[in-house]
Structure 1
Amino acid sequence: MRGVVERLDNEGLGVVRLGKKEVHVPFTAPGDEVEIRRWRKRKRTLVATDFEVITPSPMRTEPKCPHFGICGGCLLQHIPYGEQVRFKSDKLSRILGFDVDVVPSPVIYGHRNRIDVVISTKGVGFRRRGTWWDAVDIEWCPVFGDSSRKVLRSLRDFIEDFKPSLYEIRRNEGFLRYIVIREGKFTGELMVNLVTSEGSLPGEFPGYFDYATAVYWSVNRTKSDVSYGDVERFWGSEFIREKLDDVTYLIHPNSFFQTNSHQAVNLVRRVAELVEGERVLDLYSGVGTFGIYLAKRGFSVEGIEANPFAVEMANKNARLNGVEATFTVGEDRNVENLSKYDTVIVDPPRAGLHPRLIRKILKDKPQSIVYVSCNPKTLRANLDELVGAYSLDAAVGLDMFPHTPHVETVVKLKLKV
């Protein structure tokens, strides 16, 4: 059956109307004429699995990655970047119910500071879109940059020389599972983290990556298909560093950091512009990305984070930068006395704010809330609960994730008088 893509849905799939049905087609653009031969139902959405673009839309641009269209990493490389930003602004405005401008990423290739590369019997690369068992073999990743080519070439040399077993996820067998590459985009420091099953790693392994700042070996002792594990040992530096303006952050294999350093600079600047008063609570503080940046600018900062290792890293980062910011382990639902802070920063996971935290915000009534969100749907739901006591003071989107449908949002709420 043939049809024309009318628009992109919130997930970046093209929407084609076939009679009374709407079929959502990946890797298409508005104006594409497509032939759809097969689809499957995913939740309540029909998603095309066998299709062909018959007449391309004039909107299309040439993807930079040769694996685009089969790799599950990028979905929108064929859409001109200006149109991607417009799509994300429209998406946020539609979901949130008010107009939101999106700040473009300063860099749209070579911007990612982390990629998690599958090592499997199917190939060394990323999961094939729509599968959990298959992989697309790649030589490099354009959204990470040229150093990925060097690392993957070294990995293949190691595999060829020592012939370790590669992971087969369906049977939970094999030694090599992932290689995670992280790079300080403003420092040039490079980390290579090999994630394996339990076993013996040849002593020659780190020599294949003698150009890296830090080389790690981590062991995943579970059946879970995850790209982290217990650190077995490391060579070189224990951390790599990244800089956002005048703040330096230590990066460890098991710590989270915003994946687009170039746009993360704009994110921390924007949050700093929105903070009011002197006393700031940095909730879901992670490694101190916001808190330390604010402390460097004279704010009195306390951070709370559920992950003990992240808290340890945040306090290391505070000492490294010579700031007086205190980070402690705690749960969002258990925070007390929010009224003593002038501004509360929240950067929750995709599920949004815990209901108990929302009740405490409404009870304690801090003067200002800066909400950083990676999920506009849960942001909208949380705003609906807070709107009785708070008014919207500012909102902006930041494109942290070029070539994907995802977008970060920063919203400032002020207590109504």
Structure 2
Amino acid sequence: MRQVEVAIEKLANGGAGFGRCDGKAFFVPFTAPGDVARVRITCEKKSYAEGELIELVSSSALRVKPPCPVFGICGGCNWQHVEYSSQIMEKTLIFADLLWRAARISPETVLPLLRAPEPYGYRSRVQLKVNYQGGKTRLGFYRPKSHQVVDIPGHCAITHKSINDTLESLRLLMEGCPDPGNISQIDIARGDDESISVIVNHAGASVAEVSEYLLQHREISDLIGSMFIRHKNSTTSIFGAEHLSYRISGNTLPGGSEKTLFFSKDAFSQINYQQNMQLIRVVSDFAALTGKEKVLDLYCGNGNFSIPLADKAAHVTGFEGYEPSIADARKNAEWNGVTNISFHCSDSAAAVKKLAAARETFDVVVLDPPRNGAAEVMHHIQALNADRIIYVSCDPATLARDLGILKKNGFQVINIQGVDMFPQTYHLESVTLLTKS
């Protein structure tokens, strides 16, 4: 493939550097704004091209040395080569530009991204791919655009130390396993008390033999407090507790009390506990509760927002479609002595339709949907007559789509606060406040 020289102007959604050559847009991974790069073209279309960095003709002043020796090979990170303050600025600009292009949301509503206090060592949950060949186990992330596992060399720079400290033990455990070739993934999660839970994903027929082996080797690491085996969408305990937990400190919300929230082995939890505190604080600020409001929390999970908000609300109602998470939410309410709250197991779209049909109303609606968004909810949410809608999103594209629907249905975007939940990557979390037009 032919090579060209590209001056990189900025970072783009998806993580690549963006520049132009001969009037054509170029996207080049692992470049930085200010680089002049020699690029091998890997894909060329009429209006744009994608390329591979061959060498730097001149380096950007924004470049830093990545701490990870497999950065650029491993698909776990995009931006370790870019100074962190510049990551924050670029991520804010990318986010604002996407919202303007997709939904004509004014960039003035997008607040500067809230940076992470620790841009490395923050991940408290990872899903590591496993490849066993020649008696050796590779444990890591896929190479970009492939299913080749890149072995983590000692530790992962963005993962919490307590998880990293289990990796060598887990490699040894896999290499002695009766059926290592059928183990595809290991899920590792950490509670903020440093408890570690491991789920071994096994696809073979010898699940009973593998389970017995894991039980016999339960002491391979004193850091691992619980272990499970997942086989054909069923997760079975090998040893240890069913739940992990994290705390929401008392100073997260003014006048709030410290909370401890539990989540079960297969349930969702935010990967960055420090930034989760920021997320809760922003949601609370946008809700502006006075103690008189009825709050609806859709896709409520284990009560991550519901339970802190209950300190300032008259009543909170939560809906979640995953039964184990609703069980966690109810346990969390009881554990923390929160009584002005109720949780219901239901698909959120079905719940909104039912509430609307019953002419139920709420003062504030909070929703935190999965990556595919909440388009169906958007078409019915106006019937709940809420003064404020607070939309928590992990995907700017589906957020833009859903905000466009809400705008057509009589709501206006007041503020959008990004939170850098995933430093060294192009991903972000955001909280949007909407009110009635």
Superposition TM-score, scaled by structure 1 size: 0.89
1:333 aligns with 2:349: yes
Q: Would you say the 8 A contact 1:164–1:176 is kept in 2?
A: no
Q: Which amino acid aligns with 1:175?
A: N
CA-based RMSD: 2.2
| Structure 1 residue 343: Cα displacement | 0.4
1:372 aligns with 2:392: yes
Matched with 2:333 is 318
1:258 aligns with 2:267: no
- Shift in alpha-carbon separation, 1:386–1:88, aligned structure 2, 3 A: same
Q: Which amino acid aligns with 1:98?
A: P
**Map 1:324-363 → 2, pairs under 5 A:** 324=339, 325-334=341-350, 335=352, 336-337=355-356, 339-355=360-376, 357-363=377-383
Q: Would you say the 8 A contact 1:353–1:382 is kept in 2?
A: yes
| Structure 1 residue 361: Cα displacement | 2.1
Matched with 2:260 is 248
CA distance in 2, matches of 1:156, 1:44: 46
Q: Which of 397, 406, 411 is the aligned partner of 2:427?
A: 406
Q: Which of 271, 277, 289 is the aligned partner of 2:283?
A: 271
CA distance in 1, matches of 2:371, 2:25: 27
Q: Which amino acid aligns with 2:129?
A: V
CA distance in 2, matches of 1:190, 1:78: 30
| Structure 1 residue 43: Cα displacement | 12
The farther-off stretch of 324-333 and 84-93 is 324-333
- Shift in alpha-carbon separation, 1:8–1:253, aligned structure 2, 3 A: same
Matched with 1:224 is none
Q: Which of 81, 85, 88 is the aligned partner of 1:82?
A: 85
**Map 1:96-175 → 2, pairs under 5 A:** 96=99, 97-99=106-108, 100=110, 101-121=112-132, 123-160=138-175, 162=176, 164-166=178-180, 174-175=181-182
1:35 aligns with 2:55: no
Number of positions where the alignment pairs a residue of Structure 1 with one of Structure 2: 398
- Shift in alpha-carbon separation, 1:284–1:41, aligned structure 2, 3 A: farther
1:19 aligns with 2:25: no
1:237 aligns with 2:266: no
Matched with 2:252 is none
Matched with 2:201 is 195
Matched with 1:386 is 406
Q: List gaps (5 residues or longer) in structure 1.
A: 167-173, 222-228
Q: Which amino acid aligns with 2:343?
A: F
The farther-off stretch of 293-302 and 278-287 is 293-302
Q: Which amino acid aligns with 1:158?
A: L
Q: Would you say the 8 A contact 1:305–1:331 is kept in 2?
A: yes
Aligned-pair identity (%):
30
Q: Which amino acid aligns with 1:348?
A: P
- Shift in alpha-carbon separation, 1:67–1:366, aligned structure 2, 3 A: same
Q: Would you say the 8 A contact 2:300–2:318 is kept in 1?
A: yes
| Structure 1 residue 146: Cα displacement | 2.1
Q: Which amino acid aligns with 1:256?
A: F
Q: Would you say the 8 A contact 1:216–1:231 is kept in 2?
A: no
CA distance in 1, matches of 2:308, 2:398: 26
What secondary structure is seen at the aligned counterpart in 1 of 2:317? strand
Q: List gaps (5 residues or longer) in structure 2.
A: 100-105, 250-257
Q: Which amino acid aligns with 1:328?
A: H
CA distance in 2, matches of 1:402, 1:29: 16
Q: Would you say the 8 A contact 2:28–2:53 is kept in 1?
A: no
1:66 aligns with 2:64: no
| Structure 1 residue 49: Cα displacement | 4.1
Superposition TM-score, scaled by structure 2 size: 0.85
| Structure 1 residue 304: Cα displacement | 0.8
| Structure 1 residue 41: Cα displacement | 5.8
| Structure 1 residue 251: Cα displacement | 2.7
- Shift in alpha-carbon separation, 1:159–1:42, aligned structure 2, 3 A: farther
1:396 aligns with 2:417: yes
CA distance in 2, matches of 1:211, 1:393: 46
Matched with 1:53 is 56
Q: Which amino acid aligns with 2:121?
A: G
